[in-house]
Amino acid sequence: MVKTNELKKIVSKWKDKEGNLIMVFHEIQNKYGYVPRDVSMKLSEMLDVPLARIYEVLTFYNYFDLKPPGKHTISVCMGTACYLKGANELLKKIRDLLNISEGETTEDGLFKLNVVRCLGCCGLAPVVTIDEDVYGKVQKEDVPDILAKYTKEKQNA
């Protein structure tokens, strides 16, 4: 939850600068990982900008997230080496298992799925990372077990 005082501070810092709406969103997203709806509503009042305009800006730039980030970030490498070794199959498997597309977060907030270009370890292609963990030479059959490590962790919490 973003406190009104914090928001006022951010707004006053950017209020008179050009492109202030974007800069305010950047600060909010850096701090909270996304731009919550209640913040958009407060900003609409504070900056006297219609809420529809705020959402127009937020949805135009892919950079801004409107939902909280997933607890774990899955990155599937689609760089050339990984692509040639079947990264597409992995991506499809993950999408199917989690029922989300790239850039989305699962309903339970556990996973966010990203597609990236070359993680710098092409010798291990195809590569998938989950947070700081690197999985190399991944086969689509391995995907359920890999994901299970993180879902089990949730069940045991």
Q: Which residues bind ligand FES (CB under 6 A)?
A: 77, 79-82, 118-122, 125, 127
Read off φ and ψ for residue 42, nearest 5 degrees: -65, -40
H helices present in the chain, as ranges: 4-14, 20-32, 37-47, 51-60, 80-84, 87-98, 143-156
Nearer to ligand FES, 19 or 123 (CB): 123
Supply the minimum distance, in Å, between the C-beta of residue 73 and ligand FES. 16
Supply the minimum distance, in Å, between the C-beta of residue 94 and ligand FES. 15
Nearer to ligand FES, 2 or 134 (CB): 134
Supply the minimum distance, in Å, between the C-beta of residue 51 and ligand FES. 41
Question: CA dist 121 to 81, 126, 134, 146, Å?
Answer: 9, 9, 9, 19
Ranked by CB distance to ligand FES, the top (closest) residue is 79
Nearer to ligand FES, 49 or 146 (CB): 146
The answer to whether 51 and 40 are in contact (CB under 8 A) is yes
